[in-house]
Amino acid sequence: MAKNYIVIPTYNERENIGKLVSEIFSLLRDIYIIVVDDNSPDGTAEIVKDLKNKHSNLFVLERPVKNGLGKAYIEAFEKLLAEGDVKNIIMMDADFSHSPKYLFGMLKEMENYDLVIGSRYIKNGGISNWGFWRRLLSWGGNFYVRALLGRKIRDWSSGFNCIRASILKKIDLDKIEFSGYAFLSGLKYFLVKAGARVKEIPIIFEERRGGKSKMSGNIIREGLLAPWKLLFTK
């Protein structure tokens, strides 16, 4: 029977990962989770390994260095697609900004779609506990990407996505060269080009519960250049 996987990249998320994994399994007992940890100095991977004694559907993929969100996802995708028994893959943050309560609805929508996006920028979607400038940066960034890549998707930078494995196999992951959050837009762009049927569902994006944000100036600069690079990628 084909499996549904959740991929959760982590770096210094010991405050959140144990609680998140436990909450997910309390809602979806048949789900599989793979945590991709970039050698977190705070011992995130060790917490996941301890939880494996309780949850047989939990796995950890340890990477030797921290080299970006995109690389973490690609390594996990390639590993899962090579197994051949994966139906859908959910991308999810480790810090509770993506509430597990939306998971069942996302998987339900996958009966008719190839890409389901947890969207902040459609009716009934939104953001909780963000300041003005962070909201402006996020909204402006999405407006910028929509203007260049297309208005079919409202939330290009959402990191809460469910992808059908069969459509993910159709794209060349090596073409998505971005290391930060621009990877999320690039992935959606190539999925749409591959013919993915897209559905956005509203979510309320919440501020992280613990730990520190990974946002940086380099990530913002990469996000500004990424849509142009995508438009000229064959």
Tens digit of each residue's pLDDT (9 = 90 or more) over 109-165 = 999 999 999 999 999 999 988 777 778 777 777 888 888 887 789 999 899 999 999
CB 5 within 8 A of CB 36: no
What's the pLDDT score for residue 35?
98
In terms of C-beta distances under 8 Å and separation of at least 24 residues, what long-range contacts does 223-227 make, across chains too? 223/141, 223/145, 223/157, 223/180, 223/181, 223/182, 223/185, 224/144, 225/182, 226/145, 226/178, 226/182, 226/185, 226/186, 227/144, 227/145, 227/148, 227/149, 227/185
Tokens of 103: 């998971």
Q: What CATH number was assigned to the domain covering residues 3-231?
A: 3.90.550.10
What's the pLDDT score for residue 151?
76
- Rg of the chain, C-alpha, whole Å: 17
Distance CA(170)–CA(193), nearest Å, equals: 10
Residues with pLDDT less than 70, the chain? 208-227, 233-234
What's the pLDDT score for residue 45?
96
What's the pLDDT score for residue 221?
66
Tokens of 130: 């963000």
What's the pLDDT score for residue 208?
65
What's the pLDDT score for residue 226?
67
107 class by beta-carbon count within 10 Å (0-12 exposed, 13-18 middle, 19+ buried): middle
